[in-house]
Amino acid sequence: MTGVPRVAVVGANGHGRWHRRVIAGLHDTGRVELVALVDVRPVDADPAAPVPRGTAVLTDHRAMLRTVRPDVVVVCTPPHTHLPIALDVLAAGADLLLEKPPVLSAAEHRDLADALAGTDRVCQVGFQALGSAALAELTAAVAAGELGEVTRVSTVAAWQRTDGYYARAPWAGRRTLHGRPVLDGALANPLAHAVMQSLAIAATAAGGPVLPRRVELERYRVRPIEVDDTAVLRVTPRVGPPVVAAVTLAAEEFVPGEVVVTGTRGRAVLEYPTDRLALPGDPAPRVVPGRRGLLENLLDHRADPAGVALIAPLARTAPFTTVMEVIRTAPEPVLLDGDRVHAGGTGADRVLTVRGVNAVLREAADTGALPSEFGVPWAAAPHRVDLAGPEPQHDANDLGG
């Protein structure tokens, strides 16, 4: 491809400002031209991402696609809007960087995959932690057998969110909005990276994409919301190790996010938000610097499709969408209240925490058991789904670059 790629951002506020800062650096070096910003609200000023002269600022993505004709579109809008916008972008002939979660159901994933197959366009999904050099070192160690046979991949993450977090938007804390899935819960949105990192490592151990045979899920909430703020997930694949994700937004103590890989020869821990890694034999965790940016990778792929693979192509996220489908169809989360929950702060800054939740999540991650299986008093019976499907047929392209 020739010429400087013309880039637009749909959803320029909120997390879209992070994308604008990335694009600003690329624009300044002449790698891209920022041609449009789209948002239903006035675009926030950001000193780290000034709007270049001549950049169109619009409120409707369809009008932008008709008038500006970008080559690449970054979509950073609420999850329930992703599919229709993505389909419009592909129909307009642009490549796509689609924020996570890409879609929220198996049907939407098929619709987007079919649309991609009918074009020569590509879709990169915004799981930016997949570009981590620390993850690459860990997966290389797994592939080389340094941990022996991998028997479990688990993740534990413990964050806090205030009342104000759930008032940030009409779709916050919602299961659906206007008849479309939203799933703004811990597993699907803020801690989705933890789930995706674990699935990516399990895919390396299995030699191909994770094809879930059974998904088990316990979901809890401490507020009058429609989704989980605390959850434990266990995925049993057809081939490869089980994956356990134990997460909360009602933590007593902050845990950034650890992916623990247990093997017959040792154990590795990746703190994925900080790229700190401890392999068997390491005396302490160490920072492994370097992340490949998803937009830069997409630009490199456009320039050399045969030589540069996408880091997070849509196909690589199919197991994640399978998990989202189970969450979408699961019963509503169990409400935890009374003496089990501690409140601190006031007004929009109020934080609710589940007493003892960090220890519960740590045990789930360390043992692979669900809270209901090791006698947690507030635990409820899990939602279980057995999944039918074809036998695994692995394609190296499904594992990403």
> Which residue, 271, 310, 254, 305, is CA-closest to 131?
310
Domain ranges in the chain are 6-128, 133-288+315-390
- Measure the CA–CA gap between 67 and 54, rounded to whole angstroms: 13
Phi-psi region of 291 (alpha: psi -120 to 50; beta: other; left: phi over 0): beta
* 321-343 pLDDT per residue, tens: 999 999 999 999 999 999 999 99
> Which residue, 126, 361, 138, is CA-closest to 254?
361
- pTM for this model (two decimals): 0.92
pLDDT at residue number 394: 44
pLDDT at residue number 2: 56
Q: How far is CA 73 from CA 23, 164, 220, in A?
A: 11, 30, 36
- Please give the radius of gyration of the chain, using alpha carbons only, rounded to the nearest integer: 21
pLDDT at residue number 399: 61
pLDDT at residue number 396: 46
The tokens for 251 are 């933590």
Strand blocks (E) in 122-272:
123-125, 150-160, 176-177, 180-181, 212-221, 230-237, 243-248, 250-263, 266-271
Q: Which CATH superfamily is domain 6-128 in?
A: NAD(P)-binding Rossmann-like Domain (3.40.50.720)
CATH architecture of residue range(s) 133-288+315-390 = 2-Layer Sandwich (3.30)
* 258-300 pLDDT per residue, tens: 999 999 999 999 999 999 999 999 999 999 999 999 999 999 9
In this structure, are strands 212-221 and 334-335 parallel, antiparallel, or unpaired? parallel
pLDDT at residue number 388: 75
Give the residues of the chain that fall short of pLDDT 50.
Answer: 1, 391-396
pLDDT at residue number 389: 60
